Amino acid sequence: MKLVRTLAAALLAGAIALAGCSEQGGGAGDLFDHRVDYIGDNSKVTQLLDQIGFDDLGKYTIELDTEKVPHGLKLRFDEIKGAVADSAVMTKATEALGLIKNLDYVEISSGNDTFRLDKNEASEALGYSVKKLGESKDALEKFISERVSR
């Protein structure tokens, strides 16, 4: 079933789920704690996207492609801050692929521009399975620290 959610709904779900947290996006530990097993769990996916920080890129809608394999996450930005395929977008897409267990691809679009990253491409770029980011907090911490130091 394909679900389309507006950013307002995403923020509301995230706010409700995170009401007791002192701060959002506190690093690898918070991201690791928000891992999701199934792309079809829209409330958990929304919370994870908030933790990853996709809202830093602009207002967007979410479409979850859950009917059949490959399972996908499509983010449609009204107007994205920066380029659709810049390093911030690629990093966030890689984190989503690693932290959502059965996610096969992420597609990000704004206007006529579209960027798509699948788990095989991400794994090839990393030199190891992107899913390791969701299996090992150490691997996630290393990935984040490498991106910050660039």
Q: What is the pTM of this model?
A: 0.82
Residue count of the chain: 150
Q: Residue 64 and residue 142: Cα distance in Å, rounded?
A: 28
The pLDDT of residue 20 is above 70: no
Give pLDDT tens digits for 70-113: 999 999 999 999 898 899 999 999 999 999 999 999 999 999 99
**49, 77 Cβ separation under 8 angstroms:** no
pLDDT digits (tens, 9 = 90+) for 49-59: 999 999 999 99
- Count of the separate structural domains present in the chain: 1
What's the domain range around 95?
3-148
The fraction of the chain above a pLDDT of 90, given in percent, is 77
Identify the helix (H) or strand (E) that includes residue 105. strand 105-110
